[in-house]
Structure 1
Amino acid sequence: MAGATFLSTVQAPALLGARGVAASSSASSPARRHAHIQVCSKGNAEGFEAAGHEERLRFRRRDFFGGCVGTAIGLEMIEGSTKFTGVANAADLIERRQRSEFQSSIKDTLYTAIKAKPELVPSLLTLALNDAITYDKATKTGGANGSIRLEISRPENSGLSAALDLLTEAKKEIDSNSKGGPISFADLIQFAAQSALKRSFLDAAIAKCGGNEEKGRTLYSAYGSNGQWGLFDRTFGRTDAQEADPEGRVPDWSKASVQEMKDKFVAVGLGPRQLAVMSAFLGPDQAATEERLIADPDCRPWVEKYQRSRETVSRTDYEKINYEAYTYPKQKIDLGKLKL
């Protein structure tokens, strides 16, 4: 593919469906004012095994590129068994505004931090995946609960320390500006993955426009659907686990066979389609990961589908945009002809 490559992650949510990134299955309604979401521990794993599952995972190609939300699909579905209950009272308008302002502050801080160290984008994605994929359907434990900060020395998390350090520093700034209490690592890690995906898509759009940042942002705005990101906001309010999740729940993606990857995704309610969609989360070299996945008969059709979609959109639709349309050159004034 000529030019920059757009991530092949889905945004059907952020990842998926309509719920947003998975939250800790053991989380309860946080005490801080910003977190006005209650997370119930009651699972509904059966829902992901129902016949209608595939329908809920369908998405439009525009959505596919819009937010690159991989973090949406898998991360939310990984804990799709966890039911989210939002508290929506008429008197909550002030709290909602406070939460919105806090979230904007978080995103601004993360945007700046990630822009300064774009090389950490792949690690931020893997950090979010590894934190969420500890979810265990049988016991309803694990999930996106921030426990990875206590598991960073494990083999499967090798190379992710720099990403965690980046978020630790960002957290200090975020907390210092917060009027309603500190942000949890559980929330911060998932927000960082969201920001990393957005940053990647924006950088790719700018590259497609020959490095012109203004045109790149126009392209990003025109083809990037931001609606799905609201799902992250609705699940805002995860609490941090105080103990590490059990070992053995997260594969070492760099060494795991494709079959082992599929088995892990199936264990949390996903399948080959979502595995292919989340290839950017499985290591720093997405192309190499897709090369491995495409050798598997179950993953091959999905990998090829997303690769074709990336190629078609990036080479045709995006490049058909005429950025000079409806503009005109400014008329030069000949000062010599002015009558004084």
Structure 2
Amino acid sequence: MTLSSTAAFTGRFLPCDATRAEPRRPRCPRVRCCRALPECFDGERLETPSSSSGSSSSSSWDGSSYRGPYGRRAFLASTAPLLLSLGASSRSLNSNASPEYAPEGETDLTSIVRAELRKVLSKAKAAGALRLAFHDAGTFDMNDNTGGMNGSIILELDRPENAGLNRSVKALGKAKSELDKVQDSVSWADLIAAAGSEAVALCGGPFIPVQFGRVDASSPDPEGKLPEETLGAADLKKSFSEKGFTTQELVVLSGAHTLGGKGFGSPVIFDNAYYKVLLERPWAAAPPTGPSSMSTMIGIQSDHALVEDTECLRWINIYAADQERFFDDFKKAYIKLVNTGASWRDA
């Protein structure tokens, strides 16, 4: 099978809630799966023949209420090979899939990449994978059109701002090695962008569609392009503006800090706790210095600065009150982030 290099994550997690239908006769042992359950690993929907009246039965598809000439045992015997086959296919591709959610409408390339990422990612590794994506894409500069989502981060791991990211690169390297065995259309930039998306979804956040087809850089990006942790709100807004991002996008992308060990709720749950903690300003009532002070335990200086800016505070209040709005806006901003500055293969 030829896999498209421009395939995209187009799926969406949906509860595994199958609509069940009874076959018309036992020699047509087909089941219907309406929501791309893990058992239907390729997303194909197996439809049952409709009755002459056009109505469907509400009976369980296990054949318990079938009253045909062949009887229930014959029906179960005829369906067993199909069910075993589907189960085996599910285990081979979705051994690390969430039992509660499954993507719908995935392309072949998307399924392959996500399956490999689930083998190397966990909730404990999610913050590192998301940080890796931000640090690769965050070097973009509109003034000289350098940086962006180009995979150059793997050449920049010795820089102080990238400390600790070698562990995430090592984990993704295992997935990259496996992917390279079956096809060569997934670049480092693609894989890092997809890993950030998978990290968010793995921790309960929105599923973010990520397009494939980026070209990797052959040299490191210029130094000093990432926003510094000590910047105040005005300088943060200026830095993001030079990358093509608005104040609203600055605030919503900063919500990624909800993952990790900086005190914004659970380190392995992607939610809007980041904004709620910012509004509480717990560092304000703590001693300003010392290794165990509250100001060093919750967030970084740039996080604290956001809540002191009127324009940023407006968005912090919105996202603290509305998690779904946060999810929707984060998804849009993340897609923009991982596409910014990227070079693409010809279709």
Could you state the TM-score of these two structures normalised by the residue count of structure 1? 0.51
1:126 corresponds in structure 2 to 131
Query: Residue 300 and residue 113 in structure 1: after superposition, are their counterparts in 2 closer, same or farther (change >3 A)?
Result: same
Structure number with larger C-alpha Rg: 2
Aligned residue type for 2:231: A
1:313 shift after superposition: 10
1:183 shift after superposition: 2.2
- Post-superposition Cα deviations, 1:56-90, rounded to whole Å, max 9, x if no partner, equal xxxxxxxxxx88xxxxxxxxxxxxxxxxxxxxxxx
* Alignment equivalent of 1:240, drawn from 216, 219, 237: 216
1:21 corresponds in structure 2 to none
Cα pair 2:5 2:185 within 8 Å, conserved: no
Among all aligned residue pairs of Structure 1 and Structure 2, give the percentage whose two residues are the same amino acid. Answer: 30
**Residue 319 of structure 2 is aligned to residue 306 of structure 1:** yes
2:180 corresponds in structure 1 to 175
1:261-280 aligned within 5 A: 261-280=236-255
Aligned residue type for 1:188: L
- Post-superposition Cα deviations, 1:105-154, rounded to whole Å, max 9, x if no partner, equal 11111123213xx2221221121111112112133222100001111111
**Residue 174 of structure 2 is aligned to residue 155 of structure 1:** no
Cα pair 2:3 2:108 within 8 Å, conserved: no
1:190 corresponds in structure 2 to 193
1:294 corresponds in structure 2 to 307
Aligned residue type for 2:168: A
**Residue 142 of structure 2 is aligned to residue 137 of structure 1:** yes
Local SS of the residue matching 1:167: helix
Q: Name the CA distance, whole Å, in 2 between partners of 1:172 and 1:196.
A: 19
Q: Name the CA distance, whole Å, in 1 between partners of 2:216 and 2:176.
A: 14
2:121 corresponds in structure 1 to 114
Q: Name the CA distance, whole Å, in 2 between partners of 1:165 and 1:187.
A: 16
Cα pair 1:129 1:281 within 8 Å, conserved: no
1:81-96 aligned within 5 A: none
Residue ranges of structure 2 left out of the alignment (5+ in a row): 14-105, 265-273, 275-297, 328-347
Q: Name the CA distance, whole Å, in 1 between partners of 2:162 and 2:3.
A: 32
Aligned residue type for 2:216: D
**Residue 5 of structure 2 is aligned to residue 35 of structure 1:** yes
Query: Residue 278 and residue 243 in structure 1: after superposition, are their counterparts in 2 closer, same or farther (change >3 A)?
Result: same
Could you state the TM-score of these two structures normalised by the residue count of structure 2? 0.50
Cα pair 1:125 1:280 within 8 Å, conserved: no
Q: Name the CA distance, whole Å, in 2 between partners of 1:264 and 1:241.
A: 23
Query: Residue 187 and residue 312 in structure 1: after superposition, are their counterparts in 2 closer, same or farther (change >3 A)?
Result: closer
**Residue 231 of structure 2 is aligned to residue 256 of structure 1:** yes
**Residue 154 of structure 2 is aligned to residue 146 of structure 1:** no
* Alignment equivalent of 1:281, drawn from 256, 264, 269: 256
Q: Name the CA distance, whole Å, in 2 between partners of 1:184 and 1:120.
A: 21
Q: Name the CA distance, whole Å, in 2 between partners of 1:274 and 1:243.
A: 28
Choose between structure 1 and 2: higher helix proportion: 1
Q: Name the CA distance, whole Å, in 2 between partners of 1:136 and 1:301.
A: 26
Q: Name the CA distance, whole Å, in 2 between partners of 1:312 and 1:36.
A: 29
1:205 corresponds in structure 2 to none
Q: Name the CA distance, whole Å, in 2 between partners of 1:173 and 1:129.
A: 24
1:101 shift after superposition: 1.2
Aligned residue type for 1:35: S
* Number of residue pairs aligned between Structure 1 and Structure 2: 192
Root mean square deviation, CA, Å: 3.0
1:312 shift after superposition: 10
Q: Name the CA distance, whole Å, in 2 between partners of 1:310 and 1:201.
A: 12
Aligned residue type for 1:127: L
Q: Name the CA distance, whole Å, in 2 between partners of 1:136 and 1:104.
A: 33
1:271 shift after superposition: 2.0
Query: Residue 260 and residue 131 in structure 1: after superposition, are their counterparts in 2 closer, same or farther (change >3 A)?
Result: same
- Post-superposition Cα deviations, 1:276-329, rounded to whole Å, max 9, x if no partner, equal 111243573343445542222221110111011139999xxxxxxxxxxxxxxx
Local SS of the residue matching 2:316: helix
Aligned residue type for 1:168: G
**Residue 109 of structure 2 is aligned to residue 102 of structure 1:** yes
1:33 shift after superposition: 5.7
